[in-house]
Amino acid sequence: MKIGLDLDGVVVDIIAPILPHLAEICGRPVTTSDLTCFDLREALSLDEAQAERLGRLVLWGELYSLAPPVDGAIEAIQRLANHEIWFVTARPGKTRPHTIEWLERHGLPSSPLVLTEHGKKVVGEMGFDLFVEDDAGTAVGLAELGVNVLLFDHPWNQCPALPSNCRRVRGWTEIVSICEKEQVSR
């Protein structure tokens, strides 16, 4: 199968290194469970100045080097090596060197990396058999374009209804199990 993997929130735990900065910006402790909306400005009710600080943080390349992998992601992706794996992310273009360095450092150097600011339509036309995503809006959009999607469960993607070809998953063990079953059924 050709499998597309979103990076942040699926492969990379980008929230871990952001939390202390969010706490500083908000002037109070912030935990993952506070992030109930994909747009952090909305989730944390940031004012304009706070949102601007968050915007600068997102452009800070080191942040992407500091982030740990999502639990079980590295082992799982290595286990899926018999599939065609692509990394697809909406990270800013200037983070490419940090992203490549991170993938190499974690033993994932050989898959193509697409930094797309072109949106869902382009990704929808890349011929993925399966796409793993943590943004509910993107997940549903891709599903509507006919892509089978796995939505990686997080506090920020708790929308009530998903299309039939978009399924919520709770971690990498479940993703590997689905990929292995798909392969048998093909």
Q: Residues in the site for Mg ion, rule: CB under 5 A? A: 6, 8-9, 134
Cβ(69)–Cβ(13) below 8 Å: yes
Rg (CA), the chain: 16
Please identify, using beta-carbon distances, which residue of 34 and 134 lies nearer to Mg ion.
134
Please identify, using beta-carbon distances, which residue of 8 and 34 lies nearer to Mg ion.
8
| Token pair in block for residue 147 | 């892509």
- At closest approach, how far in Å is the CB of 108 from Mg ion? 16
- At closest approach, how far in Å is the CB of 129 from Mg ion? 19
- At closest approach, how far in Å is the CB of 176 from Mg ion? 19
Sheet bearing 2-6, strands edge to edge: 113-115, 84-89, 2-6, 130-133, 149-152, 166-169
CA 111 to chain centre: 16
- At closest approach, how far in Å is the CB of 185 from Mg ion? 27
